[in-house]
Amino acid sequence: MADMPDDYRIIAPDLRGYGDSETKPVDATRGVRDFTDDLAAPFDELGLEAVALVGWSIGGGIAMQYAVDHSETLTDLVLVSTMSPYGFGGTTRDGTPCQPDYAGTGGGLANDEFVERLAEGDTSAEADASPRSVLQAFYVGPDNEFDPEVADAYVDAMCTTAVSDENYPGDADSSENWPGVASGEHGVLNAISPKYFDTSELSHIDPKPPVLWVRGDADQIVSGSSFFDAGFLGQAGELPGWPGEDVYPPQPMNDQTRDVLEMYADNGGSYTAETFTDVDHSPHIERPEQFQSVLLDFSNS
């Protein structure tokens, strides 16, 4: 953001429970609408009648929800390594839940050690589940260089996350269905569960701002083989008792996003897809110059 041209006004609010913003609880039964309300409020306070919205990862899901609810305020919608319009985990390609109670999604799927180290503010790389190790392994990928100062800034930011049943990761419920845990009603990971989150109606919004979708071809978080998806972990033997691909397949996340964007285009909208080679979950970190070029070309078109 600091490298963007001076004629761009950049606004980057921390969402509730992150950074310096107030730690209000997240009502997951509203999907991510607590977060979209948190965006609408400062935009209104600042008198912004039109914005170009850029969302990364879960932020992409929040950006899609914002577009569904406030499309008239958007000039552009930019989705960076976005989560699927059908939520995170537990659905087949058309958004149908693998289990009737959405088992295998939500706060109960978080890694307990990662959550504990996040709460402790662990900035070291001494364990595979420390925030720094997770950032290096999954957000930029083990084969990509990460500038130490940039890494420090991101790890410090990660460690400002409010860790609780009402924030990250959220609460959980037990289930009779594999893998034995289902979404609760509070917190971040439940808010993106397909039980509460579905932005596939993006394809029908009016007006339709131009959409830019940027992702890396080596993404380990948002893909059809995500290391954070119960279906893939079961297939890989990491979660015991997997009922098989006919019952609980890995979620085809990017295929789902592409399908919804194709419907968006069929209904009169437009989208541009950019896939960065040998890039993991963070195109703007791993290839900042390429990312900025793509972003500026899109915003100026």
CATH number for the domain spanning 256: value is: 3.40.50.1820
**Cα separation, 198 vs 85, whole angstroms:** 6
For range 265-285, the mean pLDDT: 97
Per-residue pLDDT at 146: 80
Q: Is residue 254 part of a domain?
A: yes
Confidence of residue 142 (pLDDT cuts 50, 70, 90): confident
Domain of residue 121 covers 28-300
Tell me what pLDDT residue 215 has. 98
Q: Would 13 be classed as within a structural domain? A: no
Q: Which amino acid is at 271?
A: Y
Residue 136 lies in a domain: yes
Written as six digits, the tokens of 221 are 């978080």
Domain-embedded: residue 17: no
Q: What's the pLDDT score for residue 186?
A: 98
Task: Say what the pLDDT of residue 2 is.
Answer: 85
Q: How many Å is the maximal CA-CA distance in the chain?
A: 55
Is residue 145 pLDDT above 80, yes or no? Answer: no
CB atoms closer than 10 angstroms to residue 229: 27
Q: Per the domain annotation, does 18 fall within a domain? A: no
Q: Is residue 241 part of a domain?
A: yes
Indicate whether 236 pLDDT > 90. Answer: yes
Q: How confident is the model at residue 18 (pLDDT cuts 50, 70, 90)?
A: very high
Place 57 in a pLDDT band, splitting at 50, 70 and 90.
very high
pLDDT at residue 143 in the model:
80
Percent above pLDDT 70 for the chain: 100
Give how many domains the chain has, as a whole number: 1
Report yes or no on whether pTM surpasses 0.95. Answer: yes
Average pLDDT over residues 200-218: 98
Q: Note whether residue 65 is domain-resident.
A: yes
Percent of the chain with pLDDT over 90: 96
Query: Is residue 34 over pLDDT 80?
Result: yes
Please, what sign has the CA dihedral across residues 233, 62, 71, 11? Answer: negative
Amino acid 144: pLDDT: 80
| Alpha carbon distance 150, 31 (integer Å) | 31
Average pLDDT of the residues of the chain: 96
Residue 3 in any domain: the answer is: no
pLDDT band at 141 (very low <50, low <70, confident <90, very high): confident
pLDDT of 201 strictly over 90: yes
Helix (H), strand (E), coil (C) string for the chain: CCCCCCCCCCCCCCCCCCCCCCCCCCEHHHCCHHHHHHHHHHHHHCCCCCEEEEEECHHHHHHHHHHHHHHHHEEEEEEECCCCCCCCCCECCCCCECCCCCCCCCHHHCCHHHHHHHHHCCCCCCCCCCHHHHHHHHHCCCCCCCCHHHHHHHHHHHCCCCEECCCEECCEEECCCCCCEEECCECHHHHCCCCCCCCHHHHHCCCCCCEEEEEECCCCCCCCCCCCCHHHHHHCCCCCCCCCCCCCCCCCHHHHHHHHHHHHHHCCCCEEEEEECCCCCCHHHHCHHHHHHHHHHHHHC
Cα–Cα nearest to 60, from 251, 288, 283:
283
